[in-house]
Structure 1
Amino acid sequence: MAALILGGAAIGGSPIFVRLSEAGPMATAFWRVALALIPLVAWSQLRNGTAGDRSPKGLSDFIALALPGVFLAVDLGAWHLALTMTSVANATLLANLAPVFLTLAGWALFRSAVSGIFVAGLATAIAGVVVLKGGPAALGGGDLAGDGIAIVAAAFYAGYILAIGRLRSRFSTNRIMIWSTASAAVCMLPMALLTEQALLPLTAFGWAMLFGLAFVSHAGGQVAITYALAFLPPAFSSLTLLLQPVVAALLAWVLLSEPVGIMQAIGGAIVLAGILIARRG
């Protein structure tokens, strides 16, 4: 639980790095996963493998290890694209609907039990995100196509969490992260080359933002979440990640001087209450 919360908080800082990045949105998404391979591979070499971890055997294992990265690449690409097509409030809110898709997928594909208490907590947390973003009135300025792409991002992030959760009983955290991150980088590179005029930032500050995004939000946040998925159900884990917009709002207040009003404070409290309700379910 502690790892899950820390991972959600680390990923919650990613909008700050993206906002301050000098590279374009797709290029920033590529460097996020490409640079994250540095600490992941270094840690793997220092440990000389993981006790109890088994090597992939056969094509099916390699596909299963690469699949989360494909989901993650589409999620990142769709979310960054949605930010350019619709309002920030719409894109952020709709991209955080992953718990809805994950709960439905777990029930439809694996017949996972869904209690009424969990559904109540899910609805409460989503309502908190709506309040956090300024209430329903703040969600009317988005473009319909951009809104749809943000929903696609949420669906693919749900697929990423579900795929990671299915792998955690068979492979170590580090092995899963290296494979999924590498496959995400391979998928993101052509997307960045086709949509961006330049891939590289111009200053040391720009590189610092990319390294911060890769090391803190991805290598740190995603590793913590992957570790937690060995012990917690994917549906509940994705719900806890609704902490991300709360953390993003607080960091924007501290680092970017974006004010946090009463509506944002109430929304954050509702999100936390929804998570506590769902935990009981």
Structure 2
Amino acid sequence: MQMDPARNHGLALAITGVFILSFDALLIRLANAGGLDVSFWRGAFVLITTGIICWFRRRHMSWPDTRRLWLMAFAISLLYGANSVLFVLSVTHTHVANTVVILASAPLFAAAISWLFFRETTPKRTLISIVCAIFGVLVVFSASIGQPGQLGDFLALILAVGMATMLTLLRRAPSLPRLPLLASAGLVTLLISAPFAAPFELSSTSLGWLALMGLVQIPIASLLIFSASRHLPSPEVSLVLLIETVMGPVWVWWVLNEQLPSRTLLGGALILGAIAVNSILSLRSYRAGKSRRKGC
């Protein structure tokens, strides 16, 4: 079988980007600070890094040219920034595994949103996967009912729906430049957190971990994943993103010895299995369609 250099390049970028992104929850834990303090500096550092890159690349970037696209960019930036705050708050209020497992269901929620609100045709395999993923989320939730982690799980569910909405809007506006969206999302994260945070009371150690996250990890991972999405079909991107769901809790367990709840493992297996099967079948369908078009 002939290898596609562009696909291989995109796959390498995606795997590298998601691997780097998988350290996100660990860095939040290592910062050992309040969720809103973490969100403030996370947003500030991301804004600084991506803002500088945008400034130097401003002549080579395309900007929205219609009112509709500007409104889409505004909505995506708000969702992106709010999702960042929700992720940090969820990680600081529940097991990391619970957060990333519930968040992993976002692509399936996105398919449901596209089907409900935009009347997009959704394959039966995706609808079945959505039902399995919802059942998996309920299994994860069942372990935290009445427990301190219940708030974190609930925030993760809101995050998954928010991420799904953002993914749906991004897919409907492929011409929007991703880097300015990341910069504006950093600003939104900072503004949401600022009234409730005490960011200047953090220790130098905490700031060091947050600087590593906001100045290096998130911008590099995001740029790699954004670049990869231009060369890979969305089912393949969804499969690669499962690396974060698996590795995120592993890093926290390895470094901080945070245990994985048994129901999280069961619910996670249902969610990851549903996404993996749906993505593999979607990828086969995509490749079959591509082969038929080449044969015409």
Number of the residue aligned with 1:214: 214
- Greater Cα radius of gyration, structure 1 or 2: 2
Number of the residue aligned with 1:186: 187
Aligned 8 A contact 2:31 2:210 in 1:
yes
Aligned 8 A contact 1:68 1:160 in 2:
yes
**Cα 1:160–1:182 shift into 2, 3 Å:** same
Q: How many corresponding residue pairs?
A: 270
For structure 2, the residue ranges without an aligned partner over 5 or more in a row are: 1-9, 283-296
**Cα 1:257–1:78 shift into 2, 3 Å:** closer
Q: Superposed, which structure 2 residues align to 1:131-280 within 5 Å? A: 138-142=143-147, 147-168=153-174, 170-171=175-176, 175-178=177-180, 180-199=181-200, 201-203=202-204, 205-231=205-231, 237=237, 241-258=241-258, 273-278=273-278, 279-280=280-281
**Cα 1:39–1:54 shift into 2, 3 Å:** same
Q: Superposed, which structure 2 residues align to 1:47-196 within 5 Å? A: 49-50=59-60, 53-82=61-90, 91-121=99-129, 138-142=143-147, 147-168=153-174, 170-171=175-176, 175-178=177-180, 180-196=181-197
**Cα 1:264–1:251 shift into 2, 3 Å:** farther
- Looking at structure 1, the residues matched to 201 and 93 of structure 2 have their Cα atoms a distance apart, in angstroms, of 23
For structure 1, the residue ranges without an aligned partner over 5 or more in a row are: none
**Cα 1:226–1:48 shift into 2, 3 Å:** same
For 2:41, give the aligned amino acid. W
**Structure 1 residues 160-202: Cα deviation after superposition (integer angstroms, max 9, x where no partner):** 222222332x24xxx4222x23332332233322222334532
**Cα 1:145–1:48 shift into 2, 3 Å:** closer
Q: Superposed, which structure 2 residues align to 1:14-25 within 5 Å? A: 14-25=24-35
- Looking at structure 2, the residues matched to 265 and 150 of structure 1 have their Cα atoms a distance apart, in angstroms, of 16
- Deviation, 1:29, is 1.8
- Deviation, 1:251, is 1.1
Aligned 8 A contact 1:26 1:196 in 2:
yes
- Deviation, 1:225, is 3.1
Number of the residue aligned with 1:33: 43
- Deviation, 1:252, is 1.7
- Looking at structure 2, the residues matched to 236 and 103 of structure 1 have their Cα atoms a distance apart, in angstroms, of 15
**Structure 1 residues 114-166: Cα deviation after superposition (integer angstroms, max 9, x where no partner):** 223344555666777888xxx67634344666544432221111122222223
- Looking at structure 2, the residues matched to 237 and 193 of structure 1 have their Cα atoms a distance apart, in angstroms, of 34
**Cα 1:47–1:218 shift into 2, 3 Å:** same
Aligned 8 A contact 1:86 1:141 in 2:
no
Aligned 8 A contact 1:124 1:274 in 2:
yes
Number of the residue aligned with 1:8: 18
Question: Secondary structure in 2 aligned to 1:241?
Answer: helix
Aligned 8 A contact 2:78 2:185 in 1:
yes
TM value normalised by structure 2:
0.71
Aligned 8 A contact 1:33 1:181 in 2:
no
Identical aligned pairs, as a percentage? Answer: 23
- Looking at structure 1, the residues matched to 137 and 255 of structure 2 have their Cα atoms a distance apart, in angstroms, of 21
**Cα 1:167–1:217 shift into 2, 3 Å:** farther
**Cα 1:67–1:146 shift into 2, 3 Å:** same
- Looking at structure 2, the residues matched to 77 and 268 of structure 1 have their Cα atoms a distance apart, in angstroms, of 23
